[in-house]
Amino acid sequence: MKKYYVQIWLILIFLVKVNAQDVATKNLDFIIVIDDNIAIGSISSLNIELDSEKSKKQVTVSYYPGNLSLSSLDYNTLLSDSIKTIFLNFNYYEYSNQNQEIYNYEIELKKEWLKDYFNILRIYNLKKKKYKGKYRPISVGKNYNYEITSPSHSFKLIEQK
């Protein structure tokens, strides 16, 4: 009988440990700057899309200025060899003259960047007069451009006209 209780106790400890690993969170130091302003409370529908040769997976993430959070399990999946491309997707809300504008952004990320101490993502909306004649869109149908800075990597997709 005692042996039976010990086995149940060990199974319960194992289940609690496995469950705790699933809910563990990975916090990345990440700042999103849009049109020279740190995005505060204006971002929604934030997710990371992971593409492998076999499938696509969407990972829910949360963001507040300076922090991008996802589960440790998803973070490890993101860094695995099977993942070929990573996209950060979100909507950005901007208000001017009692009008609301919604901009959809899809930013390709590299695994190396997400291993770094911090990242600063700067997005330039080419609908704005300030950037319109200065930069080219990242691709057809996307009216923005971006750059990422970190301690060991800098990536600028920006092309001046």
Percentage of the chain exceeding pLDDT 70:
83
DSSP 68: E
Domain boundaries, position 58: 21-156
**pLDDT on residue 154:** 77
Residue 10, pLDDT above cutoff 80 = no
In a domain, 87, yes or no: yes
In a domain, 150, yes or no: yes
103, 129 contact by CB (below 8 A): no
**pLDDT confidence of 12, banded at 50, 70, 90?**
low
**pLDDT on residue 76:** 93
**pLDDT on residue 17:** 55
In a domain, 70, yes or no: yes
In a domain, 10, yes or no: no
In a domain, 9, yes or no: no
In a domain, 6, yes or no: no
**pLDDT on residue 57:** 92
pLDDT digit string, tens, across residues 79-92: 999 999 999 999 99
In a domain, 5, yes or no: no
**Which is higher by pLDDT, 74 or 135?**
74
pTM metric for this prediction: 0.79
Q: Specify the number of domains making up the chain.
A: 1
* Across 20-24, 54-58, 108-112, 140-144, least confident range: 20-24
Cβ burial of 140 (10 Å; 0-12, 13-18, 19+) is: exposed
- E strand spans, 25-149: 25-28, 30-34, 37-38, 43-52, 56-60, 62-64, 67-71, 83-96, 99-109, 119-125, 144-149
Give CA 15 to chain center in angstroms: 30
In a domain, 71, yes or no: yes
Token pair listed for 132: 């319109």
| Average pLDDT of the residues in 46-50 | 95
103: left (phi over 0), alpha (psi -120 to 50) or beta: beta
**pLDDT on residue 21:** 47
DSSP 81: T
Greatest alpha-carbon pair distance for the chain in Å reads: 79
Token pair listed for 57: 């997976």
| C-beta atoms surrounding 125 within 10 Å | 19
CA distance 157 to 135: 10
**Distance separating the N- and C-terminal Cα atoms of the chain:** 79
Q: What Rg do the C-alpha atoms of the chain give, in angstroms?
A: 20
